[in-house]
Amino acid sequence: ELKVEQNPLFLSMQEGKNYTIYCNYSTTSDRLYWYRQDPGKSLESLFVLLSNGAVKQEGRLMASLDTKARLSTLHITAAVHDLSATYFCAVESGTYKYIFGTGTRLKVLA
């Protein structure tokens, strides 16, 4: 059974700092997704990583995928308060079936 783990679970960081969120998964998969969820809101798609070595960037966020290591990272550059949210990775298990990670709750302090 595919398991998806994220760390850290909670992250409190100062504005302007850099940090990385890690997503590890237990069995082979070639597709990985990152989502953002604001409190009381639904999930917003951030990145879709479709192959080994894929790298996507949007603003201060950059995601990468290493399928051999079964690892994806979400790197935050020069954090701002607006990035405060919970971030989930999800891994495709079987055809169009997605297993979500535990989530990383990010708080950016002014």
What residues make contact with another protein under the rule CB under 8 A? 4, 31, 33, 41-45, 48, 50, 88, 90, 92, 94-103
CB of 30 to another protein, least distance (A): 10
* Closest residue by Cα to residue 36 from 96, 109, 92, 106: 106
CB of 104 to another protein, least distance (A): 10
CB of 15 to another protein, least distance (A): 25
Query: 20-58 as b/e, with b when 16 or more CB fall inside 10 Å?
Result: ebebbbeeebebbbbbbeeeeeeeeebbebeeeebebee
Q: How many Cα atoms sit within 13 Å of 16 on the Cβ side? A: 1
CB of 102 to another protein, least distance (A): 6
Decide if 73 contacts 81 (C-beta within 8 A): no
